[in-house]
A and B are shown apart, each in its own frame.
Chain A
Amino acid sequence: GDSVTQMEGPVTLSEEAFLTINCTYTATGYPSLFWYVQYPGEGLQLLLKATKADDKGSNKGFEATYRKETTSFHLEKGSVQVSDSAVYFCALTQGGGGNKLTFGTGTQLKVEL
């Protein structure tokens, strides 16, 4: 079955540092890939998505590129802020709608001053 593997956290960075959170996947066909962010005590918010190979999703300074050759969708940000502290989930779904999301285990990011 489909699966998503994320780097374990917590990841602790200083403000303005460069962020990379690794995500790799195993799936049949051509899944859509997502990054969701969860702030403490809240539900998940869609951060960005990509639906086909070489697509780059970007939002709020975050970006991730759908790499089919390495089955990866690593999340990056050039300069993190304290407000970016949250848990980040990588996920995939098989296309067509109505299909469940397969989540990674989540990576907690802590950004300190």
Chain B
Amino acid sequence: GAVVSQHPSRVICKSGTSVKIECRSLDFQATTMFWYRQFPKQSLMLMATSNEGSKATYEQGVEKDKFLINHASLTLSTLTVTSAHPEDSSFYICSAETSGRAFFTDTQYFGPGTRLTVL
């Protein structure tokens, strides 16, 4: 239970293009989804928190216009990296939280991550 998927798992794009990453909760409804970024051998950095149907809340220093987050349904959130540049290359991980009784509340379940490489 509590499975979160991400697609794609790996993407390589040219500088200046936009890339969309999907995050899905497969067997539960996610009340809140989170997007993280992880640099090699470092911890996770929270980028933004999103609730279904409302605007995402971005962490300080994260550009809203560059990292567009859409949380259109209780099982899907997307992160779009617009006009990507090499410095945006990173491992992006989403997580989802649920209030459903079958799973732990107050616990984030993580996706497998998406490796973005911008050439």
Contacts and interface: CB of A to CB of B under 8 A. Distances in A.
B6 A43 contact: yes
A20 to B, nearest CB: 20
B104 A49 contact: yes
A97 B115 CA distance: 28
B104 A44 contact: no
Given A89-B43, A104-B43, A98 B110 contact: no
Contacts of A100: 34, 46, 49
- How many chain A residues sit at the interface, stated as a range, is 20 to 34
Interface residues of B, number: 27
B108 interface: yes
Interface of B: 4, 6, 31-32, 34, 41-44, 46, 49, 51, 93, 95, 97, 99, 104-113, 115
13 contacts: A34-B107, A42-B112, A43-B110, A43-B111, A44-B95, A45-B110, A49-B104, A93-B106, A93-B108, A97-B31, A98-B31, A101-B46, A106-B43
Name the 5 nearest CB pairs between A and B, nearest first: A44-B110, A43-B110, A43-B112, A43-B113, A98-B32
